[in-house]
A = this chain, B = another copy of it.
Amino acid sequence: MATTYLKNTLTPAIIKTIPEQELPALCEEIRSTLVTYGQQHGGHIGSNLGVVELSVALHYVFSSPQDQIIFDVSHQSYVHKMLTGRTQAYTDETKYNSITGFTNPEESEHDAFTLGHTGTSIAIACGMAQQRDSANKHSQRNIIAVIGDGALSSAVAFEGLNNAALLKSNLIIILNDNEMSISQNVGGIYDNLAQLRATRGKSEHNIFKDFGLDYQYVEQGNNVHELIAQLKKIKNVDHPIVLHIHTKKGLGLDEIDQQKGIIPGQCEANHWQNPLHASKALPARKYYGQLAMSMLEQRFPDEPTLTIISPATPRSNGITEDFRSRAGLHYVDTGITEEYAAAYAAGIAKAGGTPVLATSATFFQRAYDQIHQELCLNNQPATLLIFAAGISNADNSHSGAFDIAMLANIPNLLYLTPSSEQDYLQMLQWSTTSKNHETVAIRVPSQAVLQADVERNTTSYPEIKRNFENPFNTNTSCPFLQYRFEQKSDTVALLGFSNTMPIIRKAATILEEHDITPSIIDTLQCSYLDEQSLNDLSRNHSITLTVEDGQQSGGYGNRISAWLTCNTNIKAFNLGADKEFTDQIPMQTLLQRYQMTPEQIAQNILQHLA
């Protein structure tokens, strides 16, 4: 029978007062609360359902924040949040938005870090343990990293395992093995995990021991009593230990939920759950992803070496299960391994193949060095598809506003910035068919661009086009280096690219109501300056305004301004995002903050002309 513990705000102190025999009922209540929360609000429900018992057991046995628990990537921290003072954020619909989807030090002393990128928990825990030991070598604080099996495929997690063994003091690494990454697990280590599960941790082949770590196994990772017993045994352990627990992702999503439209159990589809009331319309990100895959797939029969690479996140980028099942060797999931993926793409390109590496802007940050060195220093013609780039209401750990400063300043990299479906497809065709010797990144357009195409009737959205012509000969030099004048006028020039073009066009419409016809320029890319066009501009324009869908600092607008001021007599003004992290701030609020709405832009121009 379900308890009613969640009627009150729970804390670690309260958890400890609950008789252990009642904990399974508490877990049941938490689980059903999560299911309801997922239906109403959406979120990373699957992973949280798998760690209900672990989270309860951790707070039952350990004393946070004295003992420190670091949740890797932290999307599985909902139960932890429920148990550390934020209960109502999951039980009271009106408070759903009072907290974020990741651990957050601003919310609670029980959250040490905001983490949204995978694999760093062990490194952080090692640092905290080091600091604990330096400050007081007799300290009995437990430092605990909770890391999923999927996260184990990532570079920094391996470095963590390798370095953890050096610590001569307490460190507990809880491996939450739910047999799933975001999609399926990828890599040789997962055969070893399977062996360890099959032998209940007794296999003599044990990668954790080979890293020099102590190791224990719990088969019933969703049995709170087993977990408590085991955690009590290793509490205050005086050396690093891996506790491998076997759990079930999505446990509690059953057939009843399925009738409500939720996909049950341990599957890719419940990595991220949309609320039931969410629009079923295909979002731009998945639409453009599917469109790209459709176009590339058409070429598979003739181009055996066209290879799509996705580091663990295919589904959110429109690389559907169906596509993958048809793609054979044309599709490779490398696991959560952006570093590897970029160097791997360089290898494919060097050997004559055509790699297309697709992931989010924020995750490309992890491959900065491999993009710089293996790809660009070596001039390898790989295509990077940059999803979720630009100003948005994303979580602060997933912001897409930093991509231009990161990518557009790397030598030998051409960052193409389509502002329409047609440009997007042409740019992708060009980068994957030409014999250029440059790494090309393509900024996948946003919802604003899709909306504009829908309004102009220049897309078949939501239908995914299936027949494509390749408009380029294989030896065409890059046709995107010259700025495109969408409208030629004088006095005022509005320059944009990518997702700001719809904004600029609207601003122009407002200006036209004031009898000012601005020039509208789409730069098409943000890596190089088209000095000829800028020079032309300077002849009959007095004001140039750049509008950039990303951080101004390090961005393209500043480069244009600097060039214009140095080489011409016209003034340029730049709009773009401030150099800041933003956390789930509505898009419209951000655009207003950055003076980037069409109305603000028009007003800005009018003031300058006044």
Contact = CB atoms under 8 A, between A and B. Distances in A.
A521 interface: no
A323 to B, nearest CB: 17
B160 A127 contact: no
Which of A131, A165, A349 has the most B CB atoms < 10 Å from its CB? A131
A372 B377 contact: no
Interface string A194-229: 000000000011110111110000000000000000
B378 A369 contact: no
Given A561-B558, A581-B411, A130 B192 contact: no
A348 B561 contact: no
B192 A166 contact: no
A344 interface: yes
Interface string A413-456: 00000000000000000000000000000000000000000000
A1 interface: no
Given A123-B344, A124-B347, 14 more contacts: A120-B370, A123-B341, A124-B374, A125-B347, A127-B348, A135-B351, A159-B187, A159-B335, A162-B187, A163-B335, A191-B212, A192-B210, A366-B368, A557-B562
A235 interface: no
A545 B85 CA distance: 55
A355 to B, nearest CB: 7
B113 A369 contact: no
B339 A133 contact: no
14 contacts: A120-B373, A120-B374, A123-B340, A124-B346, A127-B349, A131-B353, A135-B351, A159-B339, A160-B340, A163-B334, A205-B210, A210-B210, A409-B554, A566-B574
B373 A131 contact: no
Contacts of A166: 186-188
Contact of A130 (B156, B347, B370, B412): B347
A583 to B, nearest CB: 9
Interface string A536-575: 0000000000000001111001110110111000011110
Given A123-B344, A163-B186, A206-B210, A329 B115 contact: no
Contact of A409 (B105, B411, B551): B551
CB-CB nearest 5 A-B residue pairs: A127-B347, A165-B188, A188-B212, A155-B155, A158-B158
A403 to B, nearest CB: 11
B561 A126 contact: no
Interface residues of A, number: 115
Given A378-B105, A561-B566, A351 B162 contact: no
Contacts of A559: 553-554, 558
Interface in A341-388: 341, 343-353, 355, 365-366, 368-370, 372-374, 376-378
Interface in A160-186: 160-166, 186
Interface string A268-310: 0000000000000000000000000000000000001101000
A113 B551 contact: no
A336 to B, nearest CB: 9
Given A117-B369, A207-B211, A571 B565 contact: yes
A465 interface: no
A155 B187 contact: no
Contacts of A402: 372, 409-410
A373 B116 contact: yes
Contacts of A232: none
A580 B528 CA distance: 12
A344 B126 contact: yes
Given A377-B397, A411-B580, A128 B558 contact: no
Contact of A307 (B130, B161, B191): B130
A126 B347 contact: yes
Contact of A350 (B124, B341, B374, B566): B124
A132 interface: yes
A171 to B, nearest CB: 11
A569 to B, nearest CB: 9
Contacts of A571: 565-566
B186 A212 contact: no
B348 A162 contact: no
A368 B370 contact: no
A579 B411 contact: yes
A408 interface: yes
A6 interface: no
Contacts of A112: 350
Contacts of A565: 561-562, 564-565, 571-572
Contacts of A355: 127
A334 B156 CA distance: 12
A534 interface: no
A153 interface: yes
A234 interface: no
Contacts of A131: 305, 307, 347-348, 351-353
A114 interface: yes
A587 interface: no
A236 interface: no
